[in-house]
Amino acid sequence: MKRRLLSLGCTLIMLARIIMTSAVDSQAASDVPMIDGSYLTHEDESVGCSTKMTRGEDLLVGYSKCVEVGPGKFYGGGSTIAVQTVEKVGVGVSVERAKKGDDHWTGYRGWMKFNHNADRVSSSQMLDVEGGYYYRVSCIHSAGNDVSSSFTDGVYIEEP
């Protein structure tokens, strides 16, 4: 009987810790501003991974990445990887920016790249940008007839 009570007590303590930890984590996450699913961060970089929204079987995964290189310097790009060699694999990269308090991202720069008879494509650029904004990268990934998207969190770029 003592073992059962001891086991029940330990189980209740573990359950209470899990509930308290979950409440603290969700409290912290809600304090960070978010626009269209992207947190506004002061991290050096952010990586996003595609959510598969396809009907076919050619697209394996897509990534988007942005890095704060220094004041007024931003690196952004994306990659698409197919399951096998396809006729055309592509990535469309869009750099967007916003200020704290905005309710949407504004397009800043964009480009596309395609490879033919390949299983992957990547494209990135180093940009001189205006400081005082959060920048993010969103990408459209395509492989054969499959299409998906990814996006990063916003990374703050300081004034040069």
- pLDDT-derived band at 32, boundaries 50, 70, 90: confident
Say how far apart CA 100 and CA 106 lie, in whole Å: 13
- pLDDT-derived band at 1, boundaries 50, 70, 90: low
What pLDDT is stored for residue 95 in this prediction? 98
Q: Reduced to 3 DSSP states, what percent helix, strand and coil does the chain have, rounded to the nearest 5? A: 20, 60, 20
> Which tens digits make up the pLDDT trace of 98-136?
999 999 999 999 999 999 999 999 999 999 999 999 999
Would you give the DSSP letter of residue 32?
S
Q: Does pLDDT of 159 surpass 60?
A: yes
> Domain map of the chain by residue range?
2-31, 38-157
- CATH topology classification for 38-157: Immunoglobulin-like (2.60.40)
Mean pLDDT of the chain: 85
What pLDDT is stored for residue 36 in this prediction? 93
- pLDDT-derived band at 12, boundaries 50, 70, 90: very low
